[in-house]
Amino acid sequence: MRMVDLIHKKRSGEVLSEQEITYIVSGYTRGDIPDYQMSALLMAIFFNGMTSEEISALTLAMAGSGEMIDLSEIAGIKVDKHSTGGVGDKISLIVGPIVASLGIPVAKMSGRGLGHTGGTVDKLESIPGFQIELTKEAFIHAVNTNKIAIVGQSGNLAPADKKMYALRDVTATVDSIPLIASSIMSKKIASGADAIVLDVKIGSGAFMKTVDDARALARTMVDIGTQLKRNTIAMITDMEQPLGREIGNANEIRESIEVLRGTGDKELTEVAISVAAYMSLLGKVFESFEEAQVAVRDIVLNGKALETFKRFIASQGGDPNVVDQPELLPTAAYQFEVLAEKDGFINQINAEQIGIAAMLLGAGRAKKEDQIDYAVGLTLNRKIGDEVQIGESICTIHANQQDVKAVESMIQGAYRIENSKPAPIQLIYDVIV
């Protein structure tokens, strides 16, 4: 087999076999196939696409390029959840304890934040003492004991994907649905989950900007799951504005606690309840989505989810007292109010700009090696549809520096205030099964 022949085959619009795809992925991971040949193949895929069989073969080959996590020692159906990323997206922190309270094991590997999107691992590390790295034995013990553990992704999880993504990033081949879908699903397959709920975000703060693109990606990932015998559901949810009202690591832990207490932001709560209901449906605890939704609400209202969250924090070395005393979480030294410049209704909040503003404060990373400040962030005091008067606070900046002019002007630019009230935002656009 020669790589040049396989590039020619794909360039001509032909279908690559499973054997050929495995040869390409393993050869590239080992370093036998050079970047220039892989770049040519990626561009051929970008223009000619892939069949569902090719995409599944690519996913499996990338998953098999590194460690395949074996979760067979954990009893029950292991349901994982993945979000394509957004601003203020703390859904994993909320649904994990809810689903675990229903008896479904949550054995989750999460990533760190980069750019305008946050990462679950960084948020958890803002809890004093919380350990994101556990041995495999400790991880399995934690899930079997508390039904939940969340750890950082292993460095050897789908290394082929890591290498290919770095190449796609510099060859203008990132936004190809077969390549995005196989990249996401390879890590989920390698993580050992039995079933997967995918939260595909659309809007200004998301990778996918239109419902049609999001639907195509969701359909492709669900098809991969079906082909590889993993029950998979994809939800298409809004990221036109940040999710919830808090952005920043400790801030988002505080807001997650409020939702688990039943007193959180209404829109964030609705999305979290739907995600948790679909996870419990895949966990085969309920027969229908409606039944699952009722049970999820009950788990929040009766306080069981909050108790599970406390046990989860304690089992990973964190201080569970943060749940009842949020002031124990890192707190910024300064607060500044961003004021409305005119009367009207909030018509737009550019989520990407809000995410970048939080990153400039130190809540996120511009580069992988950047350090982050757990205490800093933003509180959105007005969201889309809210009425505001000139001089009222639309956003609070939590900072550890006194010069926040650049951040303030970015927030002002992210908000658009008009005379008329906008149509209500649709939170969930579609569910693909």
Q: Is residue 259 part of a domain?
A: yes
357 and 410: one domain?
yes
Condensed to tens digits (0 to 9), the pLDDT of residues 365-385 reads 888 788 899 999 999 999 999
Q: What is the pLDDT of residue 155?
A: 75
User: Same structural domain for residues 194 and 254?
Assistant: yes
- Give domain status of residue 160, yes or no: yes
Structure confidence by residue, pLDDT tens digits, 191-216: 999 999 999 999 988 888 899 999 99
Residues 318 and 334 in one domain: no
**Strand-pair partners of 345:** 387, 418
> Are residue 282 and residue 208 in the same domain, yes or no?
yes
| Structure token pair of residue 414 | 């992210």
If you average pLDDT over residues 79-89, what whole number do you get?
A: 92
Catalytic residues: 82, 161, 168, 183, 187
Same domain, 351 and 300: no
Looking at per-residue confidence, does 383 or 114 come out higher? 383
Q: Which helix (H) or strand (E) holds 249?
A: helix 249-261
- What is the residue range of 32's domain? 3-49
Q: Is residue 59 part of a domain?
A: no
Q: In terms of domains, do 198 and 290 share one? A: yes
425 lies in a domain? no
Same domain, 150 and 111: yes
Domain-embedded: residue 427: no
Best CA proximity match to 425, nearest among 225, 242, 163: 242
**Both 144 and 233 in a single domain?**
yes
Cβ of 319: how many Cβ atoms within 10 Å?
Answer: 16
Please state, rounded to an integer, the average pLDDT across all residues of the chain: 96
Question: 62 to each of 4, 22, 26, 29, 160, how far by Cα in Å?
Answer: 20, 8, 8, 9, 5
Question: What does the pLDDT look like over 149-171, one tens digit per residue?
Answer: 999 987 789 999 999 999 998 99
Using alpha carbons, list the distances in angstroms from residue 339 to 318, 385, 391, 396: 37, 17, 5, 9
Whether 390 shows a pLDDT value over 90: the answer reads yes
Q: Which of 290, 322, 354 is the last residue of a domain?
A: 322
Look up the CATH number of the domain holding residue 26.
1.20.970.10
pLDDT band at 414 (very low <50, low <70, confident <90, very high): very high
| CATH code assigned at 311 | 3.40.1030.10
| Residue 156: per-residue pLDDT | 87
Q: Are residues 127 and 202 in the same domain?
A: yes
Judge if 257 and 194 occupy the same domain: yes
Q: Are residues 14 and 136 in the same domain?
A: no
Residue 431 domain-assigned (yes or no): no
Rounded to 5 degrees, φ, ψ at 416 are -120, 120
Claim: this prediction has a pTM higher than 0.75: yes
Domain CATH code at residue 385 = 3.90.1170.30
Res. 101: pLDDT tops 80: yes
Burial code (b: 16+ CB inside 10 Å, e: under 16) for 115-144 equals: ebbbbbbbbbbbbbebebebeeeebbbbbe
Q: What is the C-alpha to C-alpha distance for residues 385 and 390, in angstroms, rounded to an integer?
A: 16
pLDDT for res 367: 80
Domain final position from 304, 322, 340: 322
* Per-residue pLDDT, 22: 98
Is 56 within a domain? no
In-domain check, residue 276: yes
Question: Quick one: 276 and 349 in the same domain?
Answer: no
Q: What percent of the chain has pLDDT over 70?
A: 100
- Domain count across the chain: 3
Of 266, 293, 322, which one is at a domain's C-terminal end? 322
- Average pLDDT for 68-73: 94
